[in-house]
Amino acid sequence: MAQPISQYLPPSTPREVRAGYEAQFDLLANDILASSVTYMEFIFSDALVLPALQQPFSRGTIKINTTSAFNYPVIDPRHLSNPLDLALFVASFEYARKIRNTDAMKAINTTETYPGPSVTTKEQIEKFVRGGVNSEHHHAGTASMLPRKLGGVVDPELKVYGVRGLRVVDASIVPMLPGAHLQATLYGVAEKASCLFDSKRLPR
């Protein structure tokens, strides 16, 4: 899958971070048609069928706002900044309609109310997606465990590059979202970290 990757990243993206994203893009592009990798989740609630993108190509930013560490940073998720995500949402929207039209869903007398059956063309669906896309709040990757040359912040032992005595154990170290919700993954990260810390303790 060929794409001018740099075109869809912020102009201020550091060279190392750009290289890291290019490596991630290659992995995502290679896996997009694999049956073993989940790209979309369909959330069911009563008669609601909600597509949720698990492996986005778009990348957001988080930047300091002032010189005070107590002020909130400026966060821009940059949803749909890569057009591949919009294409995935459009395809998933159409598939969600197929699900709604199955005999099982028809049996509970479902009726599409949002956005409504009048939304049919690709352009209409794209407009609907752009106006309604939101976050599942599975944010990650702001302090990725990657080599420094790929924009990494922590090493395999969770140590922050260039800072003595500081480790990070949270969702920020995950460089790419798994094809699932983050909670269980982070339980595993925390358990791995506890074993790592325990192995580094001085003998009693």
- Specify the pLDDT at position 15: 95
For residue 73, is pLDDT > 60?
A: yes
Dist. CA 185–CA 82, nearest whole Å: 26
pLDDT band at 24 (very low <50, low <70, confident <90, very high): very high
% the chain with pLDDT above 70: 97
29 near 46, Cβ under 8 Å? no
Q: Which of 8-17, 53-62, 110-119, 160-169 has the lowest mean pLDDT?
A: 110-119
- The amino acid occupying position 21 is Y
164: number of Cβ within 10 Å: 6
**pLDDT for position 47:** 76
- The tens digit of pLDDT for each residue in 77-88 reads 999 999 999 999
Domain boundaries in the chain?
A: 1-136, 139-204
At 203 the pLDDT is 53
Q: Mean pLDDT, to the nearest integer, of 111-137?
A: 92
37, 40, 46, 47: CA torsion to nearest 10: -120
Q: Which residues are catalytic?
A: 138, 181
Kindly indicate the confidence band of residue 1, based on its pLDDT and cuts at 50, 70 and 90: low
Name the amino acid, one letter, at 78.
R
- Say if residue 180's pLDDT is above 90: no
> Do you find a cis peptide bond into 115, omega within 30 degrees of 0?
yes
Which pairs with CB-CB distance under 8 Å and at least 24 residues apart come from 2-5?
3/29, 3/82, 3/84
User: Which residues fall within 8 angstroms of residue 22, CB to CB, at 6 or more apart?
Assistant: 5
* CATH fold of 1-136: Glucose Oxidase; domain 3 (3.30.560)
Instruction: For residues 42-51, give the mean pLDDT.
Output: 86
Q: What percentage of the chain carries pLDDT values higher than 90?
A: 66
